[in-house]
Chain A
Amino acid sequence: MLGPGLLKGMAVTLKQFVESYTKKGSIFTIQYPEERREMPEAFRNFPILVYDEDPENPRCVSCDICAKECPPRCITIVRDRDPNGAGLKKPKVFDIDVSVCMSCGICEEVCPFDAIFMDKDFELSAYDRMESLNFHKEKLLRPNSYFHKIRPTDAARIDANLKAKQEKQAPTPPSGTTT
Chain B
Amino acid sequence: MEKAASALETQMLQVNIGPQHPSTHGVFRMNVTLDGETVVRLKPVMGYLHRNHEKIAEGASYLASMPFTDRLDYICSMTNNLGYAIAVEKLAGIEVPERAEYIRVIMAELTRLVNHTLLVGFLLNDLGAFFTPTLYAFREREKILDLFEAASGARMMCNYMRFGGVKNDFPTGFMEKLKEVIANYPRFLDEFERLLTENEILMGRCQNVGILPRKLAVNASVTGPMLRASGVDYDIRKVDGYSIYPRFKFRVPLGTVGDVYDRYYVRILEMRESVKILEQAVKEMPEGEVLSAKAKTGAKSPRTFRPPKGDAYGRIESPKGELGFYLVSDGTPNPYRYHVRPPSFVNLTILEDMCLGLKVADAIIILGSIDIVLGEVDR
Contact = CB atoms under 8 A, between A and B. Distances in A.
A13 B68 CA distance: 39
A112 B66 CA distance: 20
B300 A68 contact: no
Contacts of B11: none
Contact of A13 (B64, B132, B151): B132
Contacts of B132: 13
A44 B136 CA distance: 27
- Interface residues on chain A, size class: 20 to 34
Residue from A3, A12, A16, A41 whose CB has the most chain B CB atoms within 10 Å: A12
Interface stretch (B22-30, B100-108, B188-196, B315-323): B188-196
Given A4-B198, A106-B67, A69 B302 contact: yes
B139 interface: yes
Contacts of A65: 301
A109 B300 contact: yes
B153 A118 contact: yes
A1 B204 contact: yes
Given A71-B64, A71-B67, A106-B63, A8 B194 contact: yes
Contacts of A4: 198
A40 B200 contact: no
A105 B195 contact: no
B199 A5 contact: yes
B303 A12 contact: no
Interface in A12-65: 12-13, 16, 28, 39-44, 65
A65 B146 CA distance: 32
Contacts of B70: 104
Query: Which has the most chain B C-beta neighbours within 10 Å: A13, A40, A43?
Result: A40
A64 to B, nearest CB: 11
Which 9 pairs between the two chains have the least Cβ-Cβ distance? A5-B198, A104-B67, A42-B153, A40-B150, A44-B153, A3-B200, A71-B64, A12-B195, A9-B195
Given A9-B199, A40-B153, 9 more contacts: A6-B199, A40-B171, A42-B153, A42-B168, A70-B64, A71-B64, A71-B67, A106-B67, A106-B159
28 contacts: A1-B204, A5-B197, A5-B200, A6-B200, A9-B195, A9-B196, A9-B198, A12-B191, A12-B195, A13-B132, A40-B153, A42-B152, A44-B153, A65-B301, A68-B303, A69-B64, A69-B303, A70-B64, A71-B64, A71-B65, A102-B71, A104-B159, A105-B153, A106-B66, A106-B67, A110-B301, A110-B302, A118-B153
